[in-house]
Amino acid sequence: MEQLWAPWRMSYIAKAATGEAEPCFICAGDASSNDRESLVAHRTKLSIVVLNRFPYNNGHLLVAPRSHKGKLEELTSDELLDTLETVRRMVSSLQEIMKPDGFNIGLNLGRPAGAGLPGHLHWHIVPRWVGDTNFMPVLGDVKVISQSLESLWELLTQQLNRSTDSASAGGPSGEARNL
């Protein structure tokens, strides 16, 4: 039998088993000065993009308001607009670098709805490809992620820098908002 190694998932499994609450990784990433280590790919004045440390698929991103808010009604109109504009920009960037066939985009409100971090709203962006669901999850209860988080972080931040440079030069990408 072939073994698939994913040791980075052990911290997730161990925390889930104990029910131990973790600090807000989105706020911790926003406060960190090491974006690569904290997997922060992009910031605007009001939103932040973090690579999902436990992805469902290659390219799985989380887009959140920078303020720690757990309910939609707590967001200001500016925060909501900025966050959704950031979702749109991330979809465009992922489309450019990964060429997926589609996306799942969603927001889980509350732990019963699947929110692993119910105190800080965040949208999931999951690139999808025709045929990306195969026998591994069904028979082996295993999901194979074929790209490292470090590699994705490099590609995404390079793409965002290119689109920001293009926007600053009056290119087609719109207003430059990368901080």
Question: CA-CA distance, 45 to 123, in Å (whole number)?
Answer: 17
> Two tokens at 12?
């997730």
**What are φ and ψ of residue 43, in 5° steps?**
-135, 145
H/E stretch holding 114 reads none
124 is catalytic: no
Task: Out of 60, 120, 122, 124, pick the active-site residue.
Answer: 122
Placement of tokens 């911290």 in the chain: 11
C-alpha to C-alpha distance for 59 and 99, rounded to whole angstroms: 11
Q: What 3-state class would DSSP assign to 70?
A: coil
Catalytic sites, residue numbers: 122
